[in-house]
Copies of this chain bind each other. A is one copy, B any other.
């Protein structure tokens, strides 16, 4: 997904050490074209480099806090992680298939959002607006259809 992001730079720019584990996790997410759960990430990373489950959770938490990753949520299930919006990635909505559980990135132009009204009147601080489209993906529709 991301041939533009230099993970080492991303990490050091946020004041984090660019450790092997962090790079592996970022590469795993970046090489995938859709967000992954912590368990997915652990399984993929652990195939080649042994890494502790807890370390995965801790790195994910840290990178979300530093806004290098974004956490996406969906019905009562595990959170998904993808690269956070940055100069190479516009913020974009996600599609979640309620049949197969697949999460996909949608084009940033596919949905138009205007939160100006809210931003003007809201008495708290707004950090982000997350848009998730739920439905049934093409593949599942095909399998069910006939």
Q: Interface on A for B, CB 8 Å cutoff?
A: 64, 71, 73-76, 78-79, 93, 95, 97-98, 106, 109-115, 117-118, 121-138, 140-141
Contacts and interface: CB of A to CB of B under 8 A. Distances in A.
Pairs A-B, 3 closest by C-beta atoms: A73-B73, A112-B114, A110-B118
Contact of A117 (B110, B135, B138): B110
A96 to B, nearest CB: 9
16 contacts: A73-B73, A73-B74, A95-B122, A98-B127, A110-B115, A110-B117, A110-B118, A110-B121, A111-B129, A112-B113, A113-B131, A124-B136, A124-B138, A125-B136, A126-B134, A130-B132
Contacts of A75: 64, 71, 73, 79
A129 B131 contact: yes
A141 to B, nearest CB: 6
Nearest to A116: B112
